[in-house]
Structure 1
Amino acid sequence: MRRQTGIALGVAALLAGCAPLPAPLTSAPPTSGAPESSPRPWGAPGDLGENGRTVQRSPESAAMVAYYAQVERTLKSRGLMRKDVAPRDAAFRKWELVDDFVAIALYDEYDSGMNARVTPSKLRRWETPVRLAVEFGASVPEAQRAEDRAMVTAYAGQLARASRHPVGVVRTGGNFNVLVVNEDERRALGPRLQQLVPGITAATIAAITDLPPSTFCMAFAFSDGAAPVYTRAIAVIRAEHPRDLRQSCFHEELAQGLGLANDSPEARPSIFNDDEEFSLLTRHDELLLRILYDPRLRPGMTEEQARPIVQTIADELLGPDA
Structure 2
Amino acid sequence: MRRISALALCLISACTPAPRAEVTKGVALDGQSIAGPSQLAPFAQPSAIRAQRGNSEMARDFLDLAFRMESGRAIPVLSRFEGPITVAMTGDVPPTARSELSHLMSRLRHEAGLDVRPAPGDGAASITVDFVPRAQMRRAVPSAACFVVPGVRSFDEYKGARGTPVVDWTQLVQRNRVVIVIPSDTSAQEVRDCLHEEMAQAIGPLNDLYHLPDSVFNDDNFHTVLTGFDMLILRAYYAPDLQSGMNEAEVARRLPAILARLNPGGEGRGGQPKTIAPRPWVAAVEQAFGTRGGSARAGAERMISIAAAQGWSDGRLAFSYYALGRAQVTSDPEAAVRAFTKAAQIYRTLPGGAVHGAHVDMQLAAVALSSGQPAQAVQFADRAIPVVKQSQNAALLATLMLIKAEAFEAQGQVAEARALRLDSLGWARYGFGSEAQVRARMAEVATLGARGRRGG
TM-score bracket for the superposition, by shorter chain length: 0.5 to 0.7
Contact 1:133 1:172 in 2 (8 A): no
In the alignment of these two chains, the number of paired residues is 218
* Correspondence for 1:156: 105
**2-structure distance, mates of 1:235, 1:282:** 20
Alpha-carbon displacement from aligned partner over 1:98-124 (angstroms, at most 9, x marks no partner): 122111112222xxxxxx334243211
* Correspondence for 1:216: 145
> Does 1:236 find its partner at 2:197?
no
* Correspondence for 1:321: 268
Going from structure 1 to structure 2, the CA distance change for 1:227 and 1:275 (only over 3 Å counts) comes to: closer
Larger proportion of helix? 2
Larger proportion of strand? 1
Letter in 2 for 1:215: A
Shift of 1:264: 1.1
> Does 1:263 find its partner at 2:202?
no
Match of 2:176, SS state, is strand
Greater RCO, 1 or 2 (C-alpha within 8 Å, sep 6+)? 1
Letter in 2 for 1:95: S
> Does 1:108 find its partner at 2:42?
no
**1-structure distance, mates of 2:113, 2:47:** 22
Matches within 5 A, 1:79-118: 85-86=48-49, 91-109=52-70, 116-118=71-73
Shift of 1:215: 1.4
- Answer with 1 or 2: which has the greater Rg: 2
Letter in 1 for 2:211: E
**2-structure distance, mates of 1:19, 1:243:** 17
Alpha-carbon displacement from aligned partner over 1:268-296 (angstroms, at most 9, x marks no partner): 30001101010111110000011000011
Match of 2:215, SS state, is coil
**1-structure distance, mates of 2:203, 2:126:** 12
* Correspondence for 2:3: 17
Shift of 1:19: 5.6
**1-structure distance, mates of 2:223, 2:76:** 25
**1-structure distance, mates of 2:122, 2:227:** 30
* Correspondence for 2:129: 178
**1-structure distance, mates of 2:63, 2:224:** 21
Letter in 1 for 2:191: R
Contact 2:66 2:75 in 1 (8 A): no
Matches within 5 A, 1:256-295: 256-295=201-240
Contact 1:163 1:292 in 2 (8 A): no
Contact 1:124 1:299 in 2 (8 A): yes
> Does 1:307 find its partner at 2:252?
yes
Alpha-carbon displacement from aligned partner over 1:284-321 (angstroms, at most 9, x marks no partner): 00000110000111212222111121111111222232
Match of 1:159, SS state, is helix
Taking only aligned residues, the RMSD between alpha carbons, in angstroms, comes to 2.8
Letter in 1 for 2:202: G
Contact 2:113 2:235 in 1 (8 A): yes
Of all paired residues, the percent bearing the same amino acid is 24
Shift of 1:262: 1.1
* Correspondence for 1:61: none
Matches within 5 A, 1:114-153: 116-137=71-92, 144-145=94-95, 147-153=96-102
* 267-276 or 161-170, which deviates more: 161-170
Match of 1:262, SS state, is coil
**2-structure distance, mates of 1:131, 1:293:** 15
TM superposition score normalised by structure 1: 0.60
Shift of 1:17: 1.5
* Correspondence for 2:319: none
Shift of 1:240: 2.7
Letter in 2 for 1:133: A
Alpha-carbon displacement from aligned partner over 1:166-203 (angstroms, at most 9, x marks no partner): 2111344223110122225x35xxxxxxxxxxxxxxxx
Letter in 2 for 1:132: V
**1-structure distance, mates of 2:122, 2:241:** 32
Alpha-carbon displacement from aligned partner over 1:63-111 (angstroms, at most 9, x marks no partner): xx9xxxxxxxxxxxxxxxxx98328xx83221222122111112222xx
**2-structure distance, mates of 1:243, 1:227:** 32
Alpha-carbon displacement from aligned partner over 1:180-238 (angstroms, at most 9, x marks no partner): 22225x35xxxxxxxxxxxxxxxxxxxx75121x3110011239974411010100111
Match of 2:144, SS state, is coil
* 306-315 or 169-178, which deviates more: 169-178
Letter in 2 for 1:136: G
Contact 2:112 2:231 in 1 (8 A): yes
**2-structure distance, mates of 1:285, 1:259:** 10
**2-structure distance, mates of 1:18, 1:124:** 27
Contact 1:108 1:121 in 2 (8 A): no
**2-structure distance, mates of 1:105, 1:277:** 21
**1-structure distance, mates of 2:127, 2:63:** 24
**2-structure distance, mates of 1:231, 1:241:** 28
**2-structure distance, mates of 1:227, 1:179:** 21
Match of 1:231, SS state, is coil
Shift of 1:261: 1.1
**2-structure distance, mates of 1:246, 1:123:** 28
Letter in 2 for 1:180: F
